Structure 1
Amino acid sequence: MTMSISPTMMRIEAMRQIRNPYTLAFTLGMPVAMYLLFGASMDYGAMSAGHGNVKFYVMVSMAAYGTAVAMSSLTSLAATEAKQGWGRQLAMTPLGTAGYAVTKLLTAVAFAALAVLLVFAAGLATGAEASDAWRWWASAGIILGIGLIYGLYGLGVGLFFNSDTAAALASISMTFFAFFGNVFIPLDGVMLDIARFTPLYGFVSLSRWPLNEGLLTTGQTDELWMSGLNVIVWLAVFAVLVVVGVKRSRTRR
């Protein structure tokens, strides 16, 4: 009888990732450091932004970035492990393939939630403010809910590339998307127009919605339907990436 989930494997996987300096630095440490750099340490951090201040605006952005990195990098590792023959190993254990996938996904979600918690804790400690408590919870919920789509991206990357490069490529590409997606620094003009088509733009825009309702620090406004459409389109692109990756990995066998 196969198991749908393994608490033992979840514990082992979590400890393995906690001991991984790469995971600690890029998944957990970097989002906090970026918030402190671009939000808490800046004079403009206390300025008003929507229903809060700029520190809250930056905090939400970095928490969303951390979630995208956690989901994409950890699921890319799961995909590469599966390609390396974990299916044959699982056949000798009570844990089935579905259980293995669920365990890996839950581990990625747990680290994404930890990244959000750490960034929000840093924001709370350094003066990030919102007019109502529910805006904190709403932003965190949107981040963790929509952030699941980057698990698909990680799977696709893991299926296309080998284990030595998949996780690094997933996180590095997310950093690239963040720089050009109006996440790290405010963009304007043509750069902002381009940013609206990038993979992180709609996700981060919706994550900020409880605070600013689409109003950017540059004075421009995002339409709710445009941000939602961006997420839907990239969800479809990531799903296609996974399907193509699965077919490609099967042809290599």
Structure 2
Amino acid sequence: MTTTTLTPLATGRSSGGMSMTMLRIEALRQLRNPYTLAFTLAMPVVMYLLFGAGPAYGALSAGNGNVAFYVMISMAAYGTAVAMSSLTSLAAAEAQQGWGRQLAMTPLSTAGYALTKLLTAVAFAAFALAVVYIAGALTGAEADSVWRWVAAAGIILGVGLMFGLYGLGVGLVFNSDSAAALASISLVFFAFFGNVFMPLDGVMLDIARFTPLYGFVALSRWPLTEGTLTTGQTDPLWMLLLNVVAWLAVFMVLVYVGARRSRARR
């Protein structure tokens, strides 16, 4: 009688412990997830087409490009934040529901599992950004230099990693299959009140500056606007960086609290 020592998850495992098979399965699973498709792919593109691609206003000047480019960056940043948060919250919920014990029966290490999940989230965030960028390129989004496209994408993917911590914290605190949906829906709320979906002014703009998406999206727009808002006001770079650092600290605390609650439940 012969026995097998490898499970499907271990197939294609690299020397670093990551499973390429699991990475492929995770990517395909997310493409079949209705929440993922709706909030990370469909919604950003639809919002861009509604508010950025109109011929009457999309071609209007905005900073170092046009309005279409401005809205495209906003929606790409939003889609990236949702992708990072929803996928990491799902990973945290899986870990709390006993998936770790199943992994212990395979050659895939905990570090390999975490790396696979992180790469899945980053890859899907890049995919969400690319979808919005393609929509923008096809509908007249313009900037005066190519580097502004590249710089905005780099800021979105780099700073957007902080929302992976947010999703992880939500998944650990709520320990539920609905954690991914909760993370995504909460970011919709933050986007409406964070000067992402629509230009705000007055008291609403003052409040928006303290929300988690404000600094991230404003930094993403920086290559285009250099801090200038549609209202004519200017956000200094230090203020946007302070917003990002402050919320990064909050998300780290959320993960810490979630981890402690998770251990207490055990």
Q: Structure 1-normalised TM-score?
A: 0.98
Give the CA RMSD over aligned residues: 1.2
CA contact (8 A) 1:3 1:95 kept: no
Are 1:30 and 2:39 an aligned pair? no
Are 1:172 and 2:163 an aligned pair? no
Are 1:247 and 2:260 an aligned pair? yes
Alignment of structure 1 residues 109-120 onto 2, 5 Å: 109-120=122-133
Name the residue aligned to 1:200: 213
Q: 2:61 aligns with which of 40, 48, 52?
A: 48
SS for the counterpart of 1:46 is: coil
Q: 2:199 aligns with which of 162, 180, 186?
A: 186
CA apart distance, 1:189: 0.6
Are 1:141 and 2:154 an aligned pair? yes
Query: Residue deviations 1:94-122, cap 9 Å, x none?
Result: 11111111100110111100010000100
CA contact (8 A) 1:138 1:210 kept: yes
CA distance in 1: counterparts of 2:180 and 2:104, whole angstroms:
25
Runs of 5+ consecutive residues of structure 1 not aligned to the other structure: none
Letter in 2 for 1:200: L
Runs of 5+ consecutive residues of structure 2 not aligned to the other structure: 1-12
Query: Residue deviations 1:111-142, cap 9 Å, x none?
Result: 10001000010000000000000000000000
Name the residue aligned to 1:87: 100
Number of paired residues?
Answer: 253
CA contact (8 A) 1:3 1:94 kept: no
Identity of aligned residues (%): 78
Alignment of structure 1 residues 14-29 onto 2, 5 Å: 14-29=27-42
CA distance in 2: counterparts of 1:51 and 1:87, whole angstroms:
49
CA apart distance, 1:195: 0.3
SS for the counterpart of 1:163 is: coil
Letter in 1 for 2:89: S
Name the residue aligned to 1:69: 82
CA apart distance, 1:9: 0.4
CA distance in 1: counterparts of 2:28 and 2:57, whole angstroms:
39
SS for the counterpart of 1:43 is: coil
CA apart distance, 1:42: 5.9
CA contact (8 A) 1:205 1:227 kept: yes
CA distance in 1: counterparts of 2:103 and 2:117, whole angstroms:
13
Answer with 1 or 2: which has the greater Rg. Answer: 2
Letter in 2 for 1:68: A
CA distance in 2: counterparts of 1:42 and 1:125, whole angstroms:
13
CA distance in 2: counterparts of 1:98 and 1:164, whole angstroms:
22
CA apart distance, 1:218: 1.3
Q: Structure 2-normalised TM-score?
A: 0.93
CA distance in 1: counterparts of 2:194 and 2:17, whole angstroms:
37
Q: 1:158 aligns with which of 171, 176, 183?
A: 171
CA distance in 2: counterparts of 1:187 and 1:252, whole angstroms:
42
